[in-house]
Amino acid sequence: MTNITLSIEDEVYKKMKEFSEIKWSEFVRKCIIQRIKEIESINSNIYADQELLAKDWLSKEDNEAWKDL
């Protein structure tokens, strides 16, 4: 398995620490996998512009978890 480094603002990190029960690396890993699946599902005949790729893809639960960040 490969490791990556992610930079986040100090304030976000402080808020993440408040929820120490969440395995943040696993959360991010699942988000990345989900996003890759969504991008791959785009028909190759359709040009996927930046606006389409940047569309909100988080679930209702994800949005609720991140609303204060």
| Contacts of residue 57, Cβ cutoff 8 Å, sequence gap at least 6 | 34, 35, 38
> Tokens standing for 27?
């959360």
Helix, strand, coil abundance in the chain, percent, nearest 5: 55, 0, 45
pTM over 0.85: no
Banded model confidence at residue 68, pLDDT cuts 50, 70, 90: confident
Helix/strand/coil for 14: helix
pLDDT digits (tens, 9 = 90+) for 52-66: 666 666 677 777 777
12-53: pLDDT as tens digits: 999 999 999 999 999 999 999 998 888 888 755 566 566 666
Rg (CA), the chain: 15
